[in-house]
Chains A and B, each alone.
Chain A
């Protein structure tokens, strides 16, 4: 199967007034269609930077990133919903910016909202929704652009444990059903195991990939990733 993304020898440094900070070194990664990849690592290891580079929001310092003519949507730590727009308009924002809005696309978004239990909230405002519902809207906003790949940047870190568990399973089901590929970054191993089929561990000392694991035996894998992270 063809790669939709291939990262070759990628480095990322940040420049400050005092010094140069290296966050990623020699990253090599291939993402195939329908892959569900979780990137796990401690805070400050460069997970979000890697995602930003894949999304095209930041440039790598060195290395190459080859994308196979795909559309990418990004879902962030905070849902980033605009409080002054209703739920439908929030979901249509990307289409509006890309001038792809028409009656059909609007109906498709309404269909998505209906399909995922938000029919009654179409004309409500984000403040009327619970944390879990807001994340779901944020996901539908990402899906509205019909992306091939969805990037999730610690999307559930602000939610409490119970909702986090439910919504992570919910998100996996939605994305599988919509036939999307996924790369998510998180520092929560359990969350990554709940959603992803493949886990990549980023080491803080190495600033690079420390291990790649296919999710099978979750309990066993949890221990291995835990020991990788605390090495």
Chain B
């Protein structure tokens, strides 16, 4: 049996939640409506800024010519490959740098500089070495995502509770045992969080790579649209990116919930 006060509180909470969801949906519908209206009334230049109906038509055209899913699939595939490799590389290199402190001390300033460097500047160099293909896109995404994860995970590894490490040392544990039994499990949440951040980093890297070299993908669609001055295509590409971002955001949230459930 719940008290009247609690019943009112729960009711108010539910009401607030419904209002927020409604306003969120309303805001986007309203903006789309205004955009369409301004475009039809020629208040804004529909050639430069397109309109929701034109974007919808472009999406339908892309679908009819069997191009829509090819572009989405290409971008998603590149994100997934760079995400998986980025995490594996980040984790393995961080572990090596933990096991060998001297190597870490030697490399740390270079990693920091490489991390601050705008990776897009390396794009032409990567294309020269790897060719104008998917490899260059993935390497660019890997550079963007893995260097920051290496730095963050290695720092977290070195900040592991000294007391726990001392306990293991007193049990004759090797450095590898310490890594395996204390350092990795203690930093499990940080590793997963880095993976979460990596999804967005890979997204940025892949789109940048597609701008530079690709013949397929959403980044290519935007770049191609710009080259032929088809702003409908450009804005369609941006809309598809927004939809993909929403999907990735939902995925990240699901992962977050799973982690919270796990750590409870």
Are A and B co-members of a single complex?
yes
Contact residues of A with B, CB < 8 Å?
Answer: 55, 57, 72-74, 76-78, 80, 82, 84-85, 93-94, 96-98, 145, 151
Partner of B167, one of A74, A85, A96, A98: A74
Contact B171 A78 (CB under 8 A): no
How far apart sit A77 and B182, CA to CA, in the bound complex (Å)?
18
Chain A residues within 8 Å of B182, by CB: 82
B172 at the interface (CB under 8 A from A): yes
Given A82-B181, A84-B188, verify A55-B170 contact (CB < 8 Å).
yes
Given A57-B166, A76-B166, A77-B163, verify A82-B171 contact (CB < 8 Å).
no
Partner of A73, one of B168, B170, B173: B170
Q: Look across to chain A and name the residue whose beta carbon is closest to the beta carbon of B168.
A: A97
How far apart sit A145 and B173, CA to CA, in the bound complex (Å)?
13
Contact B163 A78 (CB under 8 A): yes
Chain B residues within 8 Å of A151, by CB: 170
Q: Give min CB distance, B104 to chain A, whole Å.
A: 19
Given A93-B181, A97-B181, verify A82-B173 contact (CB < 8 Å).
no
How far apart sit A82 and B181, CA to CA, in the bound complex (Å)?
9
How far apart sit A47 and B185, CA to CA, in the bound complex (Å)?
31
Contact B167 A76 (CB under 8 A): yes
Contact B171 A145 (CB under 8 A): yes
Tell me what chain B mostly uses at the interface: helix, strand, loop, or mixed.
helix
Contact B171 A97 (CB under 8 A): yes
How far apart sit A166 and B161, CA to CA, in the bound complex (Å)?
28
How far apart sit A85 and B184, CA to CA, in the bound complex (Å)?
13
Q: Give min CB distance, B178 to chain A, whole Å.
A: 9
User: Can you list 25 contacts pairing A with B, beta carbon distance less than 8 Å?
Assistant: A55-B170, A57-B166, A57-B169, A72-B170, A73-B170, A74-B167, A74-B170, A76-B166, A76-B167, A77-B163, A80-B161, A80-B163, A80-B166, A82-B164, A82-B186, A84-B185, A93-B171, A93-B181, A96-B181, A97-B168, A97-B172, A97-B177, A98-B172, A145-B171, A151-B170
Q: Look across to chain B and name the residue whose beta carbon is closest to the beta carbon of A83.
A: B186
Q: Which of B81-107 contact A (CB under 8 A)?
A: none
Q: Look across to chain B and name the residue whose beta carbon is closest to the beta carbon of A85.
A: B185
Known: A76-B166, A82-B182, A97-B173. 11 other contacts (CB 8 A): A73-B170, A73-B171, A77-B163, A80-B163, A85-B185, A93-B181, A94-B171, A97-B168, A97-B171, A97-B177, A151-B170
Q: Look across to chain A and name the residue whose beta carbon is closest to the beta carbon of B164.
A: A80
How far apart sit A97 and B172, CA to CA, in the bound complex (Å)?
8
Chain A residues within 8 Å of B172, by CB: 97-98
What 0/1 pattern do residues 142 to 174 of B give for CB contact below 8 A with A?
Answer: 000000000000000000010110111111110
How far apart sit A93 and B168, CA to CA, in the bound complex (Å)?
8
How far apart sit A84 and B164, CA to CA, in the bound complex (Å)?
12
Q: Which of B4-31 contact A (CB under 8 A)?
A: none
Chain B residues within 8 Å of A73, by CB: 170-171
Partner of A57, one of B161, B170, B177, B185: B170
How far apart sit A94 and B169, CA to CA, in the bound complex (Å)?
10
How far apart sit A34 and B143, CA to CA, in the bound complex (Å)?
60
Q: Give min CB distance, B85 to chain A, whole Å.
A: 27
Contact A82 B163 (CB under 8 A): no
Chain A residues within 8 Å of B168, by CB: 93, 97
Chain A residues within 8 Å of B186, by CB: 82, 84
How far apart sit A55 and B170, CA to CA, in the bound complex (Å)?
7
